[in-house]
C-alpha cells in the first residue's frame, strides 16, 4: 500500500498560470498586484471591508493583538484547546492569557465558562473555531457587548464556513486566517487579517510593514514586524480562492464518507456532523478514543503509522504547556474536558486531495485497532 499522507493540497487550477505571470512580469515581492487582488477578493468572500495579507496565520494573531493595543496588565480570554500561536500572541504582547475549557461534543471553547473569567483587566475574547464547527458566537457577542470587550476571531480553520448563515471571519472586531497547506485554501505559507474598522486595518498594514512612515520612512514611532506576503504566495491564493466552494463541498462530502465508514465503532467519538448553527466543514477529521479504550491516541497513531497512514495528535492544552508553566502561568488551572481530548484525540488523513479509496483504507485500519 502507498503511504497516505495526513494532508495533501490540490494545486491543479490556475496556480501555475498566475505564478508564471509573476515570473514573467518580475513581480515577486509584496509590491506585486496579486497581493491586493487576493486581499480584496478574500475579504469580499467573507463579507469584510478590509483584508491585510501577511506571511502566516500565527503572525496575523500577533498583529491583531498589537493592533487592538493589548499589552501589559491586560487579560485576554481564549480556549485552552488551541494552537500555541493564540496564547503566544497574547504573552508576547505582555498580556495575560486566561483559558477556558472546551465543550466535549464540539471541542470548541465552552462559551458558558467565559463570563466567570471576565475581570476589570479583560480586554478581549479570542475565539478559535476548532476543526470544523464554529464557536457558538451569539453568547460571546453578547458578553463582548455587555463588558465592552473586543472579539479576536481566529478563523484559520474556517474558510468557507458560516455561523447562522454569516461567514466565519466576519463575527468579531478583527479576524485572522491561515493559508498553510493543510487549510481549505493555501498559499504555501500565508495569512490574512480581516476587519470592517478602517483605523484597525491601517494599524495592521503599518505593523505588517515595520511601521515605516509614509513621510519619514526610516523614522519609527512604533515597532512593527516584516509580515508581508509575497506576490508569489498571493498568486497561488487567488487561484485557490477560485476553488474554495468546490473544496468546501468536497471536505463536507469527505466528512460524510468517514462518518459512514466509521459509524459502527462504539469505542470512538466522531466529529459532530452539525450543530444548531452550522454544518461541519471538517477542516480535519478528528477521533477521540472513549474512556473504556485501554490505550491512548499516541498508541493508536503509532499503529496507523506502521500501516503508513499519517495522523496528527489533537492540540495540547495551553495551560499544560511547559513553556507557559515555566513562566509561572496557569498554576492552579484545570480543564478536564480539554485535558482528556488532548490525550485521547487525533486526526486521520483529511486533505482535499485524499481519494475515496484512501478513505476506505484509513477506515479499515482504524477499525482494526479498535476491534
Ligand atoms: C493553522 C492555525 C494557525 C496558524 O497558522 P500558520 O499559518 O500555520 O501560522 C492559527 N490558528 C489556528 C486555529 C490554526 O489552525
Which domain covers residue 117, as residue numbers?
15-241
Same domain, 70 and 179: yes
- Of ligand 1's listed atoms, the one at least distance from the Cα of 182 is 1
Mapped onto helix, strand or coil, the DSSP state of residue 319 is helix
Q: What are the per-10-residue average pLDDT scores of the chain (371 residues)?
A: 93 98 98 98 98 98 98 98 98 98 98 98 98 98 98 98 98 98 97 98 98 95 97 98 97 98 94 98 97 95 96 98 98 97 98 96 95 82
Nearest CA to ligand 1 atom 5: 57
Cell matching residue 34? 496579486
Q: What is the pLDDT of residue 371?
A: 82
**Whole-angstrom distance between the N-terminal and C-terminal Cα of the chain?**
21
Same domain, 354 and 300: yes
Mapped onto helix, strand or coil, the DSSP state of residue 64 is helix
Cell matching residue 192? 490574512
Where is the domain boundary, 241, 271, 303?
A: 241
Q: Do residues 349 and 310 make contact, with C-beta atoms less than 8 angstroms apart?
A: yes
C-alpha distance from residue 159 to each of 58, 114, 123, 132, 249 (Å):
16, 25, 26, 10, 12
Query: How many angstroms is it from 129 CA to the middle of ligand 1?
Result: 11
Cell matching residue 102? 472546551
Nearest CA to ligand 1 atom 12: 156
Residue 253 belongs to a domain: yes
CATH number at residue 201: 3.40.640.10
Cell matching residue 22? 509573476
Same domain, 125 and 236: yes
**Using a 6 Å cutoff on CB, does residue 206 contact ligand 1?**
no
DSSP-derived secondary structure letter, 226: B
Where is the domain boundary, 241, 274, 289?
A: 241
Residue 2 belongs to a domain: no
**Using a 6 Å cutoff on CB, does residue 108 contact ligand 1?**
no
pTM of the model: 0.97
Residue 44 belongs to a domain: yes
Q: What is the pLDDT of residue 1?
A: 78
Same domain, 218 and 291: no
CATH number at residue 248: 3.90.1150.10
Q: What is the pLDDT of residue 51?
A: 98
Same domain, 110 and 91: yes
Q: How many structural domains compose the chain? A: 2
- Of ligand 1's listed atoms, the one at least distance from the Cα of 61 is 10
Residue 6 belongs to a domain: no
Q: Do residues 98 and 120 make contact, with C-beta atoms less than 8 angstroms apart?
A: no
- Give alpha helix (H) positions in the chain: 15-25, 33-46, 57-67, 84-92, 137-147, 198-208, 231-241, 244-262, 297-306, 322-326, 336-344, 356-369
Residue 1 belongs to a domain: no
Q: What is the pLDDT of residue 59?
A: 98
Query: How many angstroms is it from 188 CA to the middle of ligand 1?
Result: 12
Where is the domain boundary, 241, 262, 283?
A: 241
Same domain, 287 and 364: yes
Residues labelled as active-site residues = 183
Q: Do residues 141 and 150 make contact, with C-beta atoms less than 8 angstroms apart?
A: no
DSSP-derived secondary structure letter, 320: G
Amino acid at each position: 500500500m502507498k503511504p497516505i499522507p495526513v494532508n495533501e493540497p490540490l494545486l491543479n487550477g490556475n496556480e501555475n498560470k498566475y505564478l508564471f505571470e509573476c515570473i514573467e512580469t518580475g513581480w515577486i515581492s509584496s509590491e506585486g498586484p496579486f497581493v491586493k487582488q487576493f486581499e480584496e477578493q478574500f475579504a469580499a468572500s467573507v463579507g469584510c471591508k478590509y483584508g491585510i495579507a501577511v506571511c502566516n496565520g500565527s503572525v496575523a494573531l500577533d498583529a491583531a493583538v498589537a493592533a487592538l493595543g493589548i499589552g501589559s496588565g491586560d487579560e485576554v480570554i481564549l480556549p485552552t484547546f488551541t494552537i500555541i500561536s493564540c496564547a503566544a500572541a497574547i504573552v508576547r504582547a505582555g498580556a495575560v492569557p486566561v483559558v477556558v475549557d472546551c465543550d466535549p461534543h464540539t471541542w470548541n471553547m465552552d462559551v458558558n465558562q467565559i463570563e466567570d473569567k471576565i475581570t476589570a483587566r479583560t480586554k478581549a475574547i479570542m475565539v478559535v473555531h476548532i476543526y470544523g464547527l464554529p464557536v457558538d458566537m451569539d453568547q460571546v457577542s453578547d458578553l463582548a457587548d455587555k463588558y465592552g470587550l473586543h472579539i479576536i476571531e481566529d478563523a484559520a480553520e474556517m474558510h468557507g464556513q458560516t455561523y447562522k448563515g454569516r461567514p466565519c471571519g466576519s463575527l468579531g472586531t478583527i479576524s485572522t486566517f491561515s493559508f498553510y497547506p493543510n487549510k481549505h485554501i493555501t498559499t504555501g505559507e500565508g495569512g490574512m487579517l480581516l476587519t470592517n474598522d478602517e483605523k484597525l486595518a491601517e494599524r495592521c498594514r503599518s505593523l505588517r510593514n515595520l511601521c515605516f512612515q509614509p513621510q519619514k520612512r526610516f523614522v519609527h514611532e512604533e515597532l512593527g514586524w516584516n509580515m508581508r506576503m509575497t506576490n508569489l504566495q498571493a498568486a497561488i491564493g487567488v487561484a485557490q480562492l477560485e476553488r474554495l466552494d468546490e473544496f468546501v463541498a468536497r471536505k463536507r462530502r469527505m466528512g460524510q464518507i468517514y462518518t459512514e465508514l466509521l459509524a459502527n465503532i462504539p469505542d470512538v467519538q466522531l466529529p459532530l456532523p452539525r450543530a444548531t448553527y452550522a454544518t461541519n466543514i471538517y477542516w480535519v477529521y478528528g477521533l477521540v478514543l472513549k474512556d473504556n479504550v485501554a490505550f491512548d491516541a499516541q498508541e493508536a497513531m503509532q499503529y496507523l503509522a506502521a500501516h503508513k497512514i499519517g495522523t496528527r495528535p489533537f492540540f495540547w492544552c495551553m495551560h499544560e504547556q511547559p513553556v507557559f508553566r515555566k513562566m509561572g502561568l496557569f498554576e492552579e488551572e484545570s480543564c478536564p474536558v480539554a485535558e482528556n481530548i488532548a490525550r485521547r484525540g487525533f486526526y486521520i488523513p483529511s486533505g482535499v486531495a485524499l481519494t475515496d479509496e484512501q478513505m476506505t483504507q484509513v477506515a479499515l485500519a482504524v477499525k482494526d485497532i479498535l476491534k
